[in-house]
Structure 1
Amino acid sequence: MDVLGISLSQTAFAGIGALMILVLIGFSGFFSSSEIAMFSLPAHRLDAMIEKGQRGAQTVKALKEDPHRLLVTILVGNNLVNITMSSISTTIVGFYFDAGTAVLVSSFGITSLVLLFGESAPKSYAVENTESWARRVAPPLRVVEKVLWPLITLFYYLTQMVNRITGGRSSIETSYVTREEIEDMIETGEREGVIEADEREMLQRIFRFNNTIAKEVMTPRLDVTAIDAESTVEQAIETCVQSGHARIPVYEGSLDNVIGIVNIRDLVRDLNYGESADLELDDLIQPTLHVPESKNVDDLLREMRADRLRIAIVIDEFGTTEGIVSVEDMIEEIVGEILEGGENEPIEIVDDDTLVAQGEVNIHAVNEALDIDLPEGEEFETIAGFIFNRAGRLVEAGESLTYDGVEITVESVEDTRITAARVHRLPETETNAEATAETDGGPDETD
């Protein structure tokens, strides 16, 4: 019996086909949500799930150990489902329309259904329930991997061959979170109020720490308090007290020949309670470490902790003492300046566009505080070094120079050292006028 040219067998097939399409849409949603859940689950959360003994966590870990194969498994399953849906739909619609119309109607209809119920809704659910859904889909994915093993293995090696030919590499095999992305997340966290400004600064300092060298954190030679090895124990104690330092270097002849460190605690203890009546300074000198100025502070801190040292001597390529670096200097690179007694803040914020910085302040800190871009070169790391480099001579208090929309004024000078400088970010109108003047052959940068 035919109804409108359609046989009962065709009607039955259409009904069965529609039911199959509904089932396949469910499978499409399963594969789509699996991809989001499995690849959005960070490694640290997976480790936590395993430690808690949550069901399915070990299966998730086993699948993620070969992320490329996992991705191929999901894509093969999803594409098989979607292509099968499209074929069934085209056949059913072909009972009622001509071939061209059937293809159009089927493509539009299946695409709409897949987008709504096979992609959008399942992926949204997976994003909201990443951990629980990853544990639920992992066992079925393992079954799919075994059932479709020949097809998955074929495409697994085919994609690897294509990657080798094109010189590319599957991004799925690389780290999902790079260093730059973590730094961006930290800044976003501050903007969203998830972390505080001081927390953000500390986290950023941690990332900069392993790129910092000893020269950038050391106390320069001119600021180093040391004592001659020929001095008495009493003189060493007096030097420590007057300088406010618990440990000071000991040298023979000059500061370029540092032979060790003395600790005021040892000096006082052995002087007052020691058994020897003729105590000499040499008896209390502790060995220290001499490191090049280019030494990475991350490695240096590790060495100093292993040797239980608190101070290291920084030397240049000629063996000349450049300064000293302490454990506290390196810790300050992470937690910020640790002030003692009457010490002033290294950077004093005057307003949104102005600050006063001590001469030894690192240029990076000034750039970060004012959101400017003063250059950091190999010849200098500090704001005082930048001023000397731009001026090309000794400068006096009150002198100013401008660079890339920033005006820097020398606040104070001791002997030949710049001890403080005022840094002011110029308004855009002044910056534009300055650029125009330079283009027209205007005045030199140094006033």
Structure 2
Amino acid sequence: MALDPPAPLELSTAMLQGVEIVGVPIPKDAVLVAGIVTLVALVVLSAFFSSSEIAMFSLPAHRTEALVEDAVPGAKTLKQLKSDPHRLLVTILVGNNLVNIAMSSIATGLLAMYVESQGLAVAIATFGVTAIVLLFGESAPKSYAVENTESWALRISKPLKAAERVLLPLILLFDYLTRVVNKITGGRSAIETSYVTREEIQDIIETGEREGVLDEDEREMLQRTLRFNDTIAKEVMTPRLDMTAVAKESSVEEALETCIQSGHARIPVYEGSLDNVIGVIHIRDLVRDLNYGEALARDMELEDLIEPTLHVPESKNVDDLLTEMRAERLHMVIVIDEFGTTEGLVTMEDLTEEIVGEILEGEEEEPIEYVDDDTVTVKGEVNIEEVNEALDLDLPEGEEFETIAGFIFNRAGRLVEEGETITYDGVEIRVEQVENTRIMKARVVRLETGETEPVDAEEASD
């Protein structure tokens, strides 16, 4: 009588041949080990692509250029990748998504061999892979890339370039599709826009002062530099009323006396009226030719000492004006309005003061003097923007005025006298000094909310 084969041997064989791949039986243990090794490799790739995104797009362009100039290994490849930021982003996203999807699929397949319910296997794989990716594929590598941006960007540039070659067909396809979608929606890829805006730079400057990295003077200078490009000649000029000029027919002695009395080294020269400025004279030339010239002073004419100048519109950007004055080696230009009438003048000192602040001479008063935390005394010629910054206010600027005196006249609708007061949006402005019809000085007080109701200048003067 024949004996049946041992049952344990049949169970062992069934267990060892539990999975068939392309008709070839593979032991479950081998599949499990291979799957785990593959998942680990995919987690490493996920970390690679995630950290690449942070490192590549956090590295400033000027640092990339500096690395290339210093011939740092990997710098040229890094620059080549960053030259097309849209394609670089597509490369990273395609690689990262392929890796993460593959990870989820493999994890689901492995769990399906040991879990009877397909739904349960999918759920466990989804939440498990998500947790692993967040921790080891996103959070940790991105934190490392933030701390080591430059070195990591150099290190991963060549592997990332290799990944771009391997995934080239997919990258070209999705690069084209995303550009088409952006064109249809009328949008633009955020990666193609500047990562740093003027507002962000402004926030960085203010944060630097709060953290003690910058002192108040440094902060103010940096803020003035940012505002410089948005300033026009009309905002920085010396107005016509304050201009000192001499007629072309004046003698050298008269011109020299005018320079000395005004305290200016350069003054405009006009022919007929101030609306026809023909040039500028320098006190150096007047003194030299008067005392050391070959001709006698009485035989010299002022016209021989006149230097040419520029006439610029009041709307000219001061950044462009500074460039033009430096190129032409001019220290003074005349500002005109749309009708060609002289509005004022701008000197190199005026432009410098827009960045470094007021340069005071002798007994000259500060344009803004603090009385207390909520009160300042300002000259009428001070720009509203400076008053707003001094007291953290929001007084509006109009098309017809930029100064605090212009604001007062605009609110009053007429000439004002000393002692008159106007109130606007929690701000009280009292006229302190008036010369003829011109407001020379005013006191600005920031009121507590609800302290007073808006009052017109006419009511305040009654």
1:126 correspondence with 2:145: yes
1:25 correspondence with 2:43: yes
Return the match for 1:250 from 266, 269, 272: 269
Answer whether contact 1:348 1:357 (CA < 8 A) is retained. Answer: yes
Taking the aligned partners of 2:309 and 2:450, their CA distance within structure 1 comes to 54
SS at match of 1:430: coil
**Alignment correspondent of 2:396:** 375
Taking the aligned partners of 1:395 and 1:272, their CA distance within structure 2 comes to 49
Q: Deviations over 1:218-237 (max 9, x none)?
A: 11111111112222111111
SS at match of 1:424: strand
1:239 correspondence with 2:258: yes
Taking the aligned partners of 1:169 and 1:179, their CA distance within structure 2 comes to 20
1:411 correspondence with 2:398: no
Answer whether contact 1:402 1:446 (CA < 8 A) is retained. Answer: no
What is the one-letter code of the residue matched to 1:244? Answer: G
% identical aligned pairs: 70
> CA, structure 1 residues 5+414, in 2 after alignment: closer, same or farther (shift >3 Å)?
farther
Return the match for 2:122 from 103, 107, 128: 103
SS at match of 2:295: coil
Return the match for 1:197 from 216, 227, 242: 216
Taking the aligned partners of 1:86 and 1:237, their CA distance within structure 2 comes to 88
Q: Deviations over 1:83-120 (max 9, x none)?
A: 11111111111111121111111111111111111111
Please give the TM-score of this superposition, normalised by the length of structure 1: 0.95
**Alignment correspondent of 1:94:** 112
> CA, structure 1 residues 76+306, in 2 after alignment: closer, same or farther (shift >3 Å)?
same
Q: What is the Cα deviation at residue 6 of structure 1?
A: 4.8
Answer whether contact 2:16 2:28 (CA < 8 A) is retained. Answer: yes
Q: What is the Cα deviation at residue 124 of structure 1?
A: 0.5
> CA, structure 1 residues 226+95, in 2 after alignment: closer, same or farther (shift >3 Å)?
same
Answer whether contact 1:205 1:333 (CA < 8 A) is retained. Answer: yes
> CA, structure 1 residues 85+445, in 2 after alignment: closer, same or farther (shift >3 Å)?
farther
Shifted more, 286-295 versus 185-194: the winner is 185-194
What is the one-letter code of the residue matched to 2:196? Answer: V
Shifted more, 274-283 versus 332-341: the winner is 274-283
Return the match for 1:365 from 376, 381, 386: 386
Answer whether contact 1:33 1:126 (CA < 8 A) is retained. Answer: yes
Taking the aligned partners of 1:5 and 1:328, their CA distance within structure 2 comes to 94
1:224 correspondence with 2:249: no
> For 1:129-148, what aligned pairs fall within 5 Å after superposition?
129-148=148-167
**Alignment correspondent of 1:345:** 366
1:399 correspondence with 2:399: no
Q: What is the Cα deviation at residue 351 of structure 1?
A: 1.1
Displaced runs of 4+ in structure 1, greater than 4 A?
1-6, 442-447
Taking the aligned partners of 2:350 and 2:195, their CA distance within structure 1 comes to 34
**Alignment correspondent of 2:172:** 153
> For 1:324-343, what aligned pairs fall within 5 Å after superposition?
324-343=345-364
SS at match of 1:381: coil
Please give the TM-score of this superposition, normalised by the length of structure 2: 0.92
**Alignment correspondent of 2:63:** 45
Return the match for 1:303 from 321, 324, 328: 324
Q: What is the Cα deviation at residue 75 of structure 1?
A: 1.1
Taking the aligned partners of 2:13 and 2:213, their CA distance within structure 1 comes to 65
1:210 correspondence with 2:199: no
Shifted more, 403-412 versus 14-23: the winner is 14-23
Return the match for 2:340 from 307, 312, 319: 319
1:420 correspondence with 2:428: no
Answer whether contact 2:411 2:457 (CA < 8 A) is retained. Answer: no
Structure 1 residues without counterparts, runs of 5 or longer: none
Taking the aligned partners of 1:430 and 1:235, their CA distance within structure 2 comes to 56
1:73 correspondence with 2:94: no
Larger radius of gyration: 2
Structure 2 residues without counterparts, runs of 5 or longer: 1-9, 18-26
1:269 correspondence with 2:294: no
**Alignment correspondent of 1:355:** 376
**Alignment correspondent of 1:187:** 206
> CA, structure 1 residues 445+94, in 2 after alignment: closer, same or farther (shift >3 Å)?
farther
Return the match for 1:59 from 73, 77, 99: 77
What is the one-letter code of the residue matched to 1:143? Answer: A
What is the one-letter code of the residue matched to 1:181? Answer: E
Q: What is the Cα deviation at residue 185 of structure 1?
A: 2.0
Q: What is the Cα deviation at residue 255 of structure 1?
A: 1.5
Q: Deviations over 1:257-309 (max 9, x none)?
A: 22211111000001111112211111111111112222222222222222211
SS at match of 1:295: coil
Taking the aligned partners of 2:131 and 2:11, their CA distance within structure 1 comes to 31
Q: Deviations over 1:325-384 (max 9, x none)?
A: 111111111111110111010000111111000111111100111100111111111111
Taking the aligned partners of 1:331 and 1:16, their CA distance within structure 2 comes to 70
> CA, structure 1 residues 242+108, in 2 after alignment: closer, same or farther (shift >3 Å)?
same
Answer whether contact 1:256 1:321 (CA < 8 A) is retained. Answer: yes
Shifted more, 304-313 versus 241-250: the winner is 304-313
Taking the aligned partners of 2:460 and 2:61, their CA distance within structure 1 comes to 54
Taking the aligned partners of 2:207 and 2:12, their CA distance within structure 1 comes to 64
Answer whether contact 2:374 2:446 (CA < 8 A) is retained. Answer: yes
Q: What is the Cα deviation at residue 165 of structure 1?
A: 2.2
Taking the aligned partners of 2:96 and 2:192, their CA distance within structure 1 comes to 20
**Alignment correspondent of 1:10:** 28
What is the one-letter code of the residue matched to 2:80? Answer: A
> CA, structure 1 residues 252+22, in 2 after alignment: closer, same or farther (shift >3 Å)?
same
What is the one-letter code of the residue matched to 1:246? Answer: A
Shifted more, 295-304 versus 64-73: the winner is 295-304
Taking the aligned partners of 2:44 and 2:165, their CA distance within structure 1 comes to 20
Taking the aligned partners of 2:336 and 2:187, their CA distance within structure 1 comes to 45
SS at match of 1:428: coil
Q: How many residue pairs were aligned? A: 440
Taking the aligned partners of 2:451 and 2:392, their CA distance within structure 1 comes to 17
Answer whether contact 2:420 2:457 (CA < 8 A) is retained. Answer: no
Answer whether contact 2:422 2:457 (CA < 8 A) is retained. Answer: no
